[in-house]
Structure 1
Amino acid sequence: MEDRIKNILINEYKLNVEKLNCLEGGYRTDETYLIITNDKIKYVVKYIEYNHSVKYLQTILEFENILHDLYKYPCPNIIHSNNKQLFIIDNNRYLFIQTFIQGTELTKDIIEKKPIYLYKMGSLLAQLRIASIDYSLNIHLNEEEQELTDQWWNKQNFNNID
């Protein structure tokens, strides 16, 4: 499995992998990896089974990049492949790469010593909510615009009234 992932990273992303380690967590034990490239850059690789709409996965990954780029939200950025794809389909799985964010696991001890963390978490949740509402509204507006195109009208089945 790891050799397969390394080959995808080399061929589709031109990343030379120095280390590839499986990370705990995720739905399956073999779906989340930390890679370190030869130039010491860390990424998280997801190699997931996904049984929902590909369009839905695309939307989720696009939204993550919008959060990162437009809203400056502290979340990973999805790395595009050489062909500008957000994910690669391989062996009935989907592979995508995220930038690695070094963090600290929030514990009760940390919260007790620095209660400001709870305020910061609340602020981040509010930012996420605002960004997701804006994004949802834009998707809805785009869908409405698409409904009135020539393509949309041609697909409609109208019966003439005589």
Structure 2
Amino acid sequence: MRCSAKKKAIYTAIEKIAAPFCEKIICISDAERQSALDKKICKEDKLQVIFNGVDIEAYENGVHGAVKREDLNIPDDAFVVGMVGRMSPQKAPDVFVKMAKQVKEKVLNAHFIIVGNGNQEAEIRKYVEDNGFSNSLHITGWVDKTLQMSARRWIAK
């Protein structure tokens, strides 16, 4: 978490207080599970890891590619990297576009997609424009059917 030590302590206290009222606590990674154990939030048997992400194989037989490369002016041979999430500090879109800048410097045909919107959109667009790769960043805005979106969707021809 990117916040002060005081806020971290408050969140930890809230989690410890709430834990006895829960049958299970869902962690989105092994690291998050270990953090809960290290902070003594609850006993190990109460923690369940369910990885954050999309099971692409579950959607391989579905309809993909509602948004095609040509819709976003992305060449067929482009290397495409995407992020799904609102553009707010909690989702760190700034980290994504800083990574995009570094990748773009080494992979000239790279394109980047952000699926989502949020209060940092203007800041993100300004950073990308100031760094000269605004023609390679595509922001789709809010998407209602996010479960239909997968990595395959963005690399579909």
What is the TM-score of this pair, normalised by structure 2? 0.25
Q: Determine which structure has the larger strand proportion and give its number.
A: 1
> Which has more radius of gyration?
1
What is the TM-score of this pair, normalised by structure 1? 0.25
- Point out which structure has higher relative CO (alpha carbons under 8 A, 6+ apart): 2
